[in-house]
Structure 1
Amino acid sequence: MADTVSPDFALDQGDEGSVLRISGDWTVATVQEVDEALRDLAPGRPLRLDVTNLGGFDTAGAFVLDRTLRAAMPGTEDTAEIIGDHAAARSLIAQVHAVSTPAPPTPVRPGGLMAMLERTGEGFLKIVTEAIATLAFLGETLVTCARLLFRPWKLRWTSIVAVMEEAGLDALPIIAFLSFFVGMVVAFIGATTLSDFDLQIYTVELIGYSELREFGVVLTGIVLAGRTNSSFTAQIGTMKMRQEIDAMQTLGLKPMEVLVAPRIIAMVIMTPVLAFVATLAGIAGGIMVGWLSLDINPGVFIERLRTSVPLDQFWVGMSKAPVFGFVCALIACRQGLNVGGSVQSLGHATTTSVVQALFAIIVLDAMFAIFYMEMGI
């Protein structure tokens, strides 16, 4: 093994600037010999580094020299000019300089009215951009589904049936359970309120109208937004992160036909079924309360429900179900395809998917209510 040469340096100052000439071995084993002396070196003018006589060199020496060069030229993040040839000096100093460069400070937004208006404008532009992108995705989805329905032999029936089972049949227990207890709550509240007017018998009409028209389908949409949206977004987002969608496109497969269309079709088919089950479960909860608390026989309850609540209330609720299912699947698939290459983007997309679906269901339900009110239904 060759003998280690102690590091040394000399500072030459001229009209064109200062040159730091180094020699010997600048390694982790020797660099402490010149560390203190370099700390006291402060030329205060542009500094160049001469590595012509440099021997051994590693990252410890690169760190010490980079620190010295930064102190000599404050206010600039550019690397100093290096004179001479050395096998590792340039690359090691550049790597250490890049790693040790501090991150720029986070800009502090000014307060006041103008800052509030600026943030409001930025938020409004984001909402408009998101709405335009969603409408574009809606158009592409409708065209794809229409093309596949006119050519049913291109539909992926295995995927459709699998989604129907996962997002439909597997969700039946939780939807029925929630709707049953919501029906009980509505019946209790209605009976308590109507008892002040000796009108407890009208609890039947309250349960009928609320479950057939609103609660059954809205609860179904809310459960789908929390359960199915997160699942669809996570599935497609994970495929996007693993570059499986890119591989799919390389093979000539279209993600809209393979991933989006089966989920859209399955949800449009299964959401009315789930809403129907939720409606029956809610009415069953009302029957339970009427039987145990109001002494209304289940047979009497059902007969009064049949004669007092028009059948069109049932179709009002059912008409919303496929729309809710379509919107939930649309938002979930779009957010899944928007996932980037990081886990943070997957979590953000999943959260956005659930929030947008919940918001869309409430807004659509309000629009349906206004529409049917104007229609006199």
Structure 2
Amino acid sequence: MSLTPVFSAPDTEQAGEYRLAGDWCGAPVQEIGDSLIHTVRGDPASTLDLTEVRRMDIAGAWAVLRALGAEPELKRIRARPEHMRLLEMVARADASRPKRRTGPGPIRAFLERVGRGVISVADETYGTLAFAGQLMVVTGRTLMDPRRIRWASCVSMAERAGLDALPIVIVTTFFIGAVVGLLGVNTLRQFGAEVFAVELIGIAVTREFGIVITAVLLAGRSASAFAAEIGSMKMTQEVDAMRVLGVDPFEALVFPRVAALLLTIPLLTFAATVAGLMGGALVTWSMLGLGPTFFMNRMVENVGDNHFWIALSKAPVMAIAIAGIGCRQGMLVKGDVLSLGKRVTAAVVQAIFAIILIDAIFALIYMELDL
């Protein structure tokens, strides 16, 4: 008897019965097994005669079962008892293996993604409104009883969110004002109206760039810090410990941060506006020879302070949005570092998006009011 695995096609006496012989084990099974699968699967009514098989291992049994199709029928096999037990064991192991699920079609997958996105937006909107309502309740309760205000925490947060952010805000807006001045001078020079660069700088900086740049910097600096601080406390279960001790986390953690930004963002906006105007004034002085006195006179006569107060009216809304988003994302942190990283990133992205949206809404409102 041959020791290599072989099989023979059906003869005229045993129509549809393939005979296997030799040792169906080890590496040689691979090539002969593929040939057996290709041959037998083309004849679905065939049977296999394994009585002449000398030895068989799991590889040989798997090749025999694969030849009978995805759902092999053992009744189509004639074999010795030990080989039949091996075939039954391999068949049971294959049946218990989790089947790989085919993914949905491209249209269904697209619709599922859209549906999950809509549900996510709805959940986020509901959670934001719930958070805002709870913050309003805590704010009203605290203002009615000022003794509940944690002044030390408010002052500390104001220093970290305000004074510590002052250098980066001043430097950034100074260069923003200089860039606006450069663009204004080069553009208006084509029309011989370089002097109107003063009005361009004044309106752009006082009305938009002063508040928007300040808010964006605070979104990247303070919103992420608030989310990371509260998220770390959530991970170490300090927030749960506060609730056990009867301390409201909104009153102890959220309100001081919101109050700190409400206090500091108008001051930072003023400093940013002054720095931006200084940057623009330096450009007009160096490129056009218009001194600081001339710059300030045109600012007072043609720009005025109306645009600055319009910008300042946006500050409280942006402060609440930045602090609220940062604190809310911190409250949503779970017990792992991955969740903390995701929430800190979400805090920055959502805060910047909220700033742009709030600025656009205010622009539409003031446009309708002709301001």
Query: TM-score with structure 1 length normalisation?
Result: 0.74
* Alignment-mate amino acid for residue 234 of structure 2: K
* Alignment-mate amino acid for residue 180 of structure 2: V
- Which residue number corresponds to residue 59 of structure 1? none
State the Cα deviation string for residues 17-37 of structure 1 (Å, max 9, x = none): xxxxxxxxxxxxxxxxxxxx9
- Which residue number corresponds to residue 269 of structure 2? 275
Superposed displacement of residue 71, structure 1: 4.4
Unpaired runs of at least 5, structure 1: 1-36, 45-67, 78-100
Superposed displacement of residue 75, structure 1: 4.4
Alpha-carbon separation, structure 2, partners of 1:109 and 1:175: 50
State the Cα deviation string for residues 135-172 of structure 1 (Å, max 9, x = none): 11011101111211121111001110110011111000
Instruction: Note closer, same or farther for the CA distance 1:215–1:244 as it changes in structure 2 (3 Å cut).
Output: same
Instruction: Note closer, same or farther for the CA distance 1:122–1:40 as it changes in structure 2 (3 Å cut).
Output: closer
Superposed displacement of residue 217, structure 1: 0.1
> Which secondary structure does the structure 1 equivalent of 2:335 belong to?
coil
Instruction: Note closer, same or farther for the CA distance 1:321–1:105 as it changes in structure 2 (3 Å cut).
Output: farther
Q: 1:73 aligns with which of 92, 95, 101?
A: 92
Equivalence map 1:199-214=2 (5 Å): 199-214=193-208
> Which secondary structure does the structure 1 equivalent of 2:106 belong to?
coil
Superposed displacement of residue 322, structure 1: 1.3
Alpha-carbon separation, structure 1, partners of 2:89 and 2:261: 61
Alpha-carbon separation, structure 2, partners of 1:146 and 1:214: 31
Alpha-carbon separation, structure 1, partners of 2:212 and 2:261: 15
Superposed displacement of residue 258, structure 1: 0.5
Alpha-carbon separation, structure 2, partners of 1:228 and 1:361: 14
- Which residue number corresponds to residue 111 of structure 1? 106
Instruction: Note closer, same or farther for the CA distance 1:166–1:119 as it changes in structure 2 (3 Å cut).
Output: same
Instruction: Note closer, same or farther for the CA distance 1:304–1:335 as it changes in structure 2 (3 Å cut).
Output: same
1:153 counterpart = 2:147: yes
Instruction: Note closer, same or farther for the CA distance 1:242–1:187 as it changes in structure 2 (3 Å cut).
Output: same
Instruction: Note closer, same or farther for the CA distance 1:70–1:338 as it changes in structure 2 (3 Å cut).
Output: farther
Q: How many corresponding residue pairs? A: 295
Superposed displacement of residue 110, structure 1: 2.4
- Which residue number corresponds to residue 219 of structure 2? 225
Instruction: Note closer, same or farther for the CA distance 1:238–1:109 as it changes in structure 2 (3 Å cut).
Output: farther
* Alignment-mate amino acid for residue 292 of structure 1: S
Percent of residue pairs identical: 44
> Which secondary structure does the structure 1 equivalent of 2:333 belong to?
coil
- Which residue number corresponds to residue 243 of structure 1? 237
Is the radius of gyration larger for structure 1 or structure 2?
2
* Alignment-mate amino acid for residue 273 of structure 2: T
1:327 counterpart = 2:313: no
Equivalence map 1:3-152=2 (5 Å): 71=90, 73-75=92-94, 108-112=103-107, 114-152=108-146
Superposed displacement of residue 118, structure 1: 2.6
> Which secondary structure does the structure 2 equivalent of 1:162 belong to?
helix
Superposed displacement of residue 132, structure 1: 1.4
- Which residue number corresponds to residue 360 of structure 1? 354
Unpaired runs of at least 5, structure 2: 1-55, 66-86
Superposed displacement of residue 206, structure 1: 0.5
Query: TM-score with structure 2 length normalisation?
Result: 0.75
Superposed displacement of residue 228, structure 1: 0.8
Instruction: Note closer, same or farther for the CA distance 1:316–1:72 as it changes in structure 2 (3 Å cut).
Output: same
Alpha-carbon separation, structure 2, partners of 1:70 and 1:153: 75
State the Cα deviation string for residues 163-188 of structure 1 (Å, max 9, x = none): 00111110000011000000000000
* Alignment-mate amino acid for residue 120 of structure 1: V
Superposed displacement of residue 39, structure 1: 6.1
- Which residue number corresponds to residue 73 of structure 2? none
Instruction: Note closer, same or farther for the CA distance 1:214–1:74 as it changes in structure 2 (3 Å cut).
Output: same
Instruction: Note closer, same or farther for the CA distance 1:106–1:371 as it changes in structure 2 (3 Å cut).
Output: farther
Instruction: Note closer, same or farther for the CA distance 1:188–1:150 as it changes in structure 2 (3 Å cut).
Output: same
Alpha-carbon separation, structure 2, partners of 1:109 and 1:183: 53
Superposed displacement of residue 70, structure 1: 7.8
Superposed displacement of residue 108, structure 1: 3.1
Q: 2:279 aligns with which of 269, 279, 285?
A: 285
> Which secondary structure does the structure 1 equivalent of 2:289 belong to?
coil
> Which secondary structure does the structure 1 equivalent of 2:93 belong to?
coil
Alpha-carbon separation, structure 2, partners of 1:186 and 1:70: 78
Alpha-carbon separation, structure 1, partners of 2:124 and 2:309: 32
